[in-house]
Structure 1
Amino acid sequence: MYLHPVILSGGSGTRLWPLSREQYPKQLLALTGDETMLQQTATRLSGFTGALQVASESIVVCNEEYRFITAEQMRAAGCPSHHIILEPVGRNTAPALTLAALTVQREFGEGVLLVMPADHVIRDIEAFHRAVALGLDAAVEGAMVTFGIVPERAEIGYGYIRIGDETAPGVHDVSAFVEKPDADTAAQYLASGDYLWNSGLFMVRSDVWLKAIGHFNPEMLAACSAGIDAETRDADFVRVGREAFEACPSDSIDYAVMERLAQTPELGIPPRVVPMSVGWSDVGAWDALWALAERDDAGNSARGDVLLEATRDTLVHATSRMVACLGVEDLVIVETADAVMVARKASTQDVKKIVARLKAEKRPQAFAHRKIHRPWGCYDAIDGGGRFQVKRIEVKPGASLSLQMHHHRAEHWVVVRGTAKVTRGEETFLLTENQSTYIPLGVTHRLENPGKLTLEIIEVQSGSYLGEDDIVRFEDTYGRR
């Protein structure tokens, strides 16, 4: 039996807009260091020594929209996985864990699942390892274990767990789960010492979870089982059957199972909690990131090209240009290539209202950044007008775009760096720096990078329609249609 890390990477992180977008959510961002939050999660069990050996590959459950960048970030972190489960639609955390448990049962027979959201920060890894080791015996013996954070303040943004008797060193019974409190109640919880923040981290045997979900929500188990039975494999990806999974109820691990276990002792799955102080944060909004960040003597946290003058208690995140602040305080200022947000720290929980308006107006800033990642590299739409668009395209060494054709646009390519292998109709030829070519409307073409350096080109599109859906693919290395 192994300890299997299960990384839940399906969140959207709307309160961290404009950096976090629906197709590039916060777990894919490097918010607290050089590694992204997904990469930090993937390496979180490195060096763990406990009763069980950690499986060599994590199970990742994520949205199909950002599967390629997820796989690439896992590889870059030294944690490649052949078990990246793609949800065709979002159904919350309980179905995601059910898919992972079914996968472990099928691939390994049995195992203990350590469920970790990909968008959390844990500063003290050694303390986290100690907490996991404390709860592991209980999980092996058939309990469902959660991890509660010893509260540092009277927080109203988290749910709470009331701890019961100690059942083993460092492991407690769960007395109750409590919804997010008001300020006075939160202060009482903090003063009592009997309450922990609900972290959203869980540990449970795969067969125990399936028994529990089968008891409390048989429709969910049936839909997930049918989705796994109908799965298809594509490189590192496990594509869950869409029709079956769309019928799955949506629910969280807490509501679907964890909170019901204490009222169902006849099921024989006791709920347990391990208290821990590990420097945890769910980085739910920009004010939480400011609290985590290193700050100067004036309480400012700056990242990117930032100039501060007479500024206090302010977070500034610049990604593409210089941001200057003069005579301001208690603000969050976030700059990206296509959007700038300015808010008081006390208002950052309401950023999701801005995202909701953008979605209602179908503004692209709600869904994706100007720079779009693809399995072969990325492109940045740097300019555009009524009948033209200019892109900066990067192709990774050895990678290639699909063999494709456009009905409504022609393209001009100029090589800025590297070597390009171009297929144009029946021709195939090489281009080097400062050379260019023209792809007429309706002509089959492909761009490849045969070299060892990143290929950079400038592409100028012209035509009556320039949308990304004007692509007819004939061949594609990555299985896209």
Structure 2
Amino acid sequence: MIHPVIMAGGTGSRLWPLSRQLNPKQFLRLTDSRLSMLQMTVARLEGLDSAEPLLICNEEHRFLAAEQMRQSGHEETRIILEPCGRNTAPAIALAAIQLVRDLPEDADDPLMLVLAADHLIQDVEAFQQGIHKAVPLAEQGKLVTFGIVPSHPETGYGYIHRGKELAPEAHTVDRFVEKPDQETAQGYLDSGDYLWNSGMFLFGARRYLAELEKHRPDILAICQAASDDAAQDLHFIRINADIFADCPEDSVDYAVMEKTSNAAVISLDAGWSDIGSWSALWEVNEKDSQGNSFTGDVIAQDTANTLVRADSRLVATVGVENLVIIETKDALLVAHKDKVQDVKKVVETIRSDGRHEHMNHREVYRPWGVYDSIDSGARYQVKRITVKPGAKLSVQMHHHRAEHWIVVSGTARVTNGEKSYLVTENQSTYIPVGQVHSLENPGVIDLELIEVQSGSYLGEDDIVRYEDRYGRT
């Protein structure tokens, strides 16, 4: 049986303004109108002889990840929470330690299928066939990576040089090479012996830990200590933050794959893309006869080879080509397709200027639902709040703001100081400054309400929580 390990960390800054630090690309519906990238990754495991996936994500994404797994029918999925990012070698080590711990000591070495949550694979059948080819090699102790058959001389990916043949479509790894320039990439393509490095792997958990101990014992020691002191919280596995903070950063390629003598590669031709930029998304999207890819409300005149995504309003283009235009409720990006790798520089500028548009969208997801910041001023803020059936906000208090709630649809159970009462459609209630309060949806449909905040300080950190069913402090 295969044990899928899905790495769902990262911020995807090159896909700003859609991808934000608190809602990055792996949780977005980029290539499918129904499923996020994470959910597509989970869906392509169907039909494999595999266990329940083990997810690795950042602490700040835990509720978003859990909700998307629940929507995919995986309510029992365990999620390892990284207190801080330390690259892929430590992340995979945490998962391997957990898998080994779950099994009896005399059990076979569990095979880990390590996948990124934000990759696109268009040919699922070819993907699964590649995994089947990799299983015998992994069972023999090989550390198998999946190399993508290149379709063009790509300079944005690292490459794998194939060695001797082990089986059809399976070779030893001669060497890993860094991202090449255009001329070198063309030479790699012409030779037929180089593959794109996909960052997907299949190997035994104990085998990986043994290789890590051989080549990076410092990483293994800290991961082991942090895991030994982990805490279980619902389906979350909370790694000890103080211990893990001292872990060196390193990728699995540098730490293990480039050093081991047991690396193997499976050649995979499955319509793979890491969707690492807006131009990569344009390449995989369906296009019209003019080479355009449009999503949302778009009117185009004399427009060619352009990607437009309109999330909240009409976007019109006239006489342009080779552009990327991304519109969200609070930001607009216009870039030439040849310059989209520099979008991350915009994000760096936003961050250094003390702005907030790199952190989150106007719509912010919480374990109980979502809120949309509609309007704000010096002493007021207006939000549209949606609370899921059966969900409850924390019992809390604010030092600096009062709140006025108007129910638009559904029914709210309000705790307001010593009182508890129902508020239904077209009714409202007022929460004074300093009042302990909570909001709950006791019904079977979404609760929609408008919240008007007023006061001297309206930041999200003005919350004193007394009780919270989601484990937040």
Q: With the length of structure 1 as denominator, give the TM-score of the two structures.
A: 0.96
1:468 to 460, 464, 473: 460
Following TM superposition, by how much is the alpha carbon of 1:169 offset from its aligned partner in structure 2, in angstroms? 2.8
| 1:190-221 deviation line (CA, Å, top 9, x unaligned) | 00101000000011100000001111111111
After TM superposition, the structure 1 stretch with the greater mean CA deviation from structure 2, 152-161 or 103-112, is 103-112
1:301 aligns with 2:298: no
Counterpart residue number, 2:387: 395
1:84 aligns with 2:83: no
Q: Give the conservation status (yes or no) of the 8 Å contact 1:121–1:282.
A: yes
| 1:345-367 deviation line (CA, Å, top 9, x unaligned) | 00001100000111111211011
1:45 aligns with 2:40: no
| 1:443-479 deviation line (CA, Å, top 9, x unaligned) | 0100000000000100000000000010000000001
1:347 aligns with 2:339: yes
CA distance in 2 between counterparts of 1:344 and 1:129 reads 36
CA distance in 2 between counterparts of 1:420 and 1:461 reads 18
| 1:80-101 deviation line (CA, Å, top 9, x unaligned) | 3442000000000110100000
SS class of match (2:288): coil
Counterpart residue number, 1:94: 89
Following TM superposition, by how much is the alpha carbon of 1:412 offset from its aligned partner in structure 2, in angstroms? 0.2
Counterpart residue number, 1:265: none
Q: Give the conservation status (yes or no) of the 8 Å contact 1:82–1:235.
A: no
Counterpart residue number, 1:428: 420
Two-structure CA RMSD over aligned residues (Å): 0.8
| 1:81-123 deviation line (CA, Å, top 9, x unaligned) | 4420000000001101000000000012441000001110000
Following TM superposition, by how much is the alpha carbon of 1:388 offset from its aligned partner in structure 2, in angstroms? 0.3
After TM superposition, the structure 1 stretch with the greater mean CA deviation from structure 2, 75-84 or 252-261, is 75-84
CA distance in 1 between counterparts of 2:294 and 2:323 reads 12
Following TM superposition, by how much is the alpha carbon of 1:173 offset from its aligned partner in structure 2, in angstroms? 0.7
SS class of match (1:354): helix
1:179 aligns with 2:178: yes
1:320 aligns with 2:315: no
Task: Write the mapping of 1:409-428 to structure 2, written as runs, cut at 5 A.
Answer: 409-428=401-420
Counterpart residue number, 2:356: 364
Counterpart residue number, 2:36: 36
Following TM superposition, by how much is the alpha carbon of 1:79 offset from its aligned partner in structure 2, in angstroms? 2.4
SS class of match (2:283): helix
Letter matched to residue 56 of structure 2: V
Unaligned 5+ residue runs, structure 1? Answer: 263-269
After TM superposition, the structure 1 stretch with the greater mean CA deviation from structure 2, 388-397 or 361-370, is 361-370
2:366 to 348, 367, 374: 374
Following TM superposition, by how much is the alpha carbon of 1:306 offset from its aligned partner in structure 2, in angstroms? 1.2
Task: Write the mapping of 1:52-451 to structure 2, written as runs, cut at 5 A.
Answer: 53-55=49-51, 57-109=52-104, 110-262=109-261, 270-451=262-443
Counterpart residue number, 1:267: none
CA distance in 2 between counterparts of 1:215 and 1:374 reads 42
Unaligned 5+ residue runs, structure 2? Answer: none
Counterpart residue number, 1:266: none
Q: Give the conservation status (yes or no) of the 8 Å contact 1:300–1:314.
A: yes
CA distance in 1 between counterparts of 2:99 and 2:238 reads 16
CA distance in 2 between counterparts of 1:304 and 1:232 reads 44
Q: Give the conservation status (yes or no) of the 8 Å contact 1:408–1:465.
A: yes
Q: Give the conservation status (yes or no) of the 8 Å contact 2:87–2:249.
A: yes
Q: Give the conservation status (yes or no) of the 8 Å contact 1:409–1:466.
A: yes
Q: Give the conservation status (yes or no) of the 8 Å contact 1:7–1:59.
A: yes
- Between the aligned residues of both structures, percent identity stands at 55
| 1:407-457 deviation line (CA, Å, top 9, x unaligned) | 000000000010000000000000110000000000010000000000010
Aligned pairs, how many?
468
- In the TM superposition, structure 1's runs of 4+ consecutive aligned residues that sit over 4 Å from their partners are none
Following TM superposition, by how much is the alpha carbon of 1:326 offset from its aligned partner in structure 2, in angstroms? 1.3
Letter matched to residue 50 of structure 2: V
Q: Give the conservation status (yes or no) of the 8 Å contact 2:22–2:359.
A: yes
Letter matched to residue 197 of structure 2: N
Q: Give the conservation status (yes or no) of the 8 Å contact 1:98–1:221.
A: yes
CA distance in 2 between counterparts of 1:321 and 1:140 reads 53
CA distance in 2 between counterparts of 1:80 and 1:398 reads 16
| 1:318-365 deviation line (CA, Å, top 9, x unaligned) | 111111111111100000111000000000011000001111112110
CA distance in 2 between counterparts of 1:94 and 1:42 reads 22
Letter matched to residue 118 of structure 1: A
Task: Write the mapping of 1:19-34 to structure 2, written as runs, cut at 5 A.
Answer: 19-33=18-32, 34=34
CA distance in 2 between counterparts of 1:226 and 1:95 reads 12
Following TM superposition, by how much is the alpha carbon of 1:296 offset from its aligned partner in structure 2, in angstroms? 0.6
Q: Give the conservation status (yes or no) of the 8 Å contact 1:58–1:81.
A: no
SS class of match (1:372): strand
Q: Give the conservation status (yes or no) of the 8 Å contact 1:43–1:79.
A: no
CA distance in 1 between counterparts of 2:218 and 2:297 reads 52
CA distance in 2 between counterparts of 1:122 and 1:403 reads 43
Letter matched to residue 129 of structure 2: R
After TM superposition, the structure 1 stretch with the greater mean CA deviation from structure 2, 450-459 or 229-238, is 229-238
